[in-house]
Structure 1
Amino acid sequence: MLTQKLTPDQVDLYHQQGYIIIKSFCKPDEVNKLYNAALEDTTMLNNAFDLNDQSGKKTRLSLWFTPGNDVFGYLTRSEKMIGSVKQLLGGDAPVCHYHSKVLQKEPKVGGAWEWHQDYGYWYKNQFMFPDQLISVMVALNRANKENGCLQVIKGSHKMGRVNHGFAGEQMGADMQMVNNALKTMELVYVEVEAGDALMFHTNLLHRSEANLSDHSRWSIISGFNLQSNPAYNETSTSYKVPVNVVPDNAIIDWDADSLSNADFLKKENDPALKETGWEKA
């Protein structure tokens, strides 16, 4: 049995506003190990690809599906991660790891992410139940307005899925509905320190500005799914395989593999980046 990691008030707040911030989710030594692996693992760097925003600036990311015995796998399989996710998603089905990605926003050149919902992407993978999906971002550097921190519209997950079309190479939400949401709900800049975690609903509207500062903004974002939630246009299988949970101390104390065996996503294989016709409707 997973121990309860969150308070009832935190769970209620997640359902009310569509996200919660957990301060110091990862300790400094854990952050250092994760960040150094992100910088030094050649397999991750060799499998990174760029996504252009509408201005042509690039955000670089590496995305893989099956969590392994590397330091990122130990984080995404940790009891504190899976225990927290399970409390927020509820239900009887076990938690599965959909995919994780390291986002690399370099100083001066790191691009923006347009307004979107994660389910705006994952709808193309034909996941059936957005309430059974969640995203967790762990900051590897300080994130603030200066270096393009995440922005969220509090409570916007209650709108349901908003239509998405292409914005550069990204999927962007219908700006009429985004502007309506901004008139109705609060815009929040998610300024966090390295090691803080943001857990957010798959229908929460969010974006980030380009990184025009002198400081990097790197983060790892993991998507989790309940096994009871099928996806009918997803070729990977991790989304339906229950996570093999490891103790929290594995991140520091266990020997970690490289990501050489990870099943990385190739940009050309991502269904979310392919036109289906309805994006222009």
Structure 2
Amino acid sequence: MLSYKQVMDYERDGYVTVEGVFSQEDVDKMIDAVENGDRVARTVMTGQADVSGKNSNLAIWHELGSDIWSAASTAPRVVNSVRILLGEDAAFFHGKVMLKEARTGGAWEWHQDYGYWYNQGFIFPNMISAFVALDEATIENGCLQVLRGSHLLGRLDHGKVGSQVGVEPRRLAQVESMFERVHCELKPGSVLFFHSNLLHASAANESERHRRSFIMCYTAVSNPQITKNGTVWRTSCPISAEGAILA
């Protein structure tokens, strides 16, 4: 369970790190699922090039099932922290595995997750990501960087940066110096919970070690989503405090 201080840190900074959420045995099973499982192989996307042309690959899915990724995404140790930080019950939005391979993994440009998710129809930014380190994340292998407290800016305009979507460069240049840049170095099994409006990025991996991660994304149950045809609907994957899928 998160402490009062951790909740206050999240509200002030836009993120909080919790160590040891998953055991090394859990992490080993996830890495085996990355390398040998069907879910990642079936959903992997390539060609997410940064401004230098290097690719960062990811696998992404929007449904829960019976695999290890779904078990992690509905685990009470994760869901209850998400519920506390959102201030209400949570619903699963999507999961993704980020594949930043040794020497070749490209950068992710500065962006807010809600910069994407706003255009997917979500009305409010009451959304959160839970970032699980599968390999040790260090400055050398391109760990996540955040601008502490930048979630308080609200949503910024996004556009094309390389073949990715990132914050409009002129506005980024105006606000970047106003916030402390933090390199989020993580041990395997640690989880970084961060707000959907927090500015974050990561450098290319030029080290000899992979930097793979699993990210679980959630929205508040009350957060409506407008579909392309204008229909307003609410998510169909709310999760109980015990980890049960309620619909």
Quote the residue 2:21 is aligned against: 25
2:128 and 2:193 in contact (8 A); partners too: yes
TM-score, structure 2 length as denominator? Answer: 0.92
Deviations 1:209-247 (A, max 9, x none): 111111000000111011210111379x99442125656
Matches within 5 A, 1:189-204: 189-204=183-198
Distance in structure 2 (CA, Å) of the matches to 1:124 and 1:152 = 22
Letter in 1 for 2:179: M
Are residue 107 (structure 1) and residue 102 (structure 2) matched? yes
1:97 and 1:238 in contact (8 A); partners too: no
Are residue 80 (structure 1) and residue 77 (structure 2) matched? yes
User: Residue 68 of structure 2 is aligned with which of 68, 71, 74?
Assistant: 71
Distance in structure 2 (CA, Å) of the matches to 1:48 and 1:182 = 32
Q: What is the Cα deviation at residue 143 of structure 1?
A: 0.6
User: Residue 175 of structure 2 is aligned with which of 172, 176, 181?
Assistant: 181
TM-score, structure 1 length as denominator? Answer: 0.81
Letter in 1 for 2:122: F
Structure 1 stretches of 4+ with a deviation exceeding 3 A read 237-240, 244-247
Identity rate, percent: 37
Distance in structure 2 (CA, Å) of the matches to 1:242 and 1:156 = 28
Quote the residue 1:125 is aligned against: 120
Q: What is the Cα deviation at residue 25 of structure 1?
A: 1.3
* Alignment gaps of 5+ in structure 1: 248-281
1:96 and 1:238 in contact (8 A); partners too: no
Matches within 5 A, 1:209-248: 209-233=203-227, 239-243=235-239
Are residue 89 (structure 1) and residue 81 (structure 2) matched? no
Deviations 1:23-61 (A, max 9, x none): 111111111111111111134213211111122111111
Q: Which moved more, 1:62-71 or 1:74-83?
A: 62-71
Deviations 1:157-206 (A, max 9, x none): 00000100011221110223222332111000001111111000000000
* Alignment gaps of 5+ in structure 2: none
The 3-state SS of whatever aligns with 2:56 is: strand
Inter-CA distance 99–43: structure 2 relative to 1 (3 Å threshold): closer
Q: Which has the larger share of strand? A: 2
Letter in 1 for 2:3: T
The 3-state SS of whatever aligns with 2:140 is: coil
2:110 and 2:167 in contact (8 A); partners too: yes
Aligned alpha-carbon RMSD (Å): 1.7
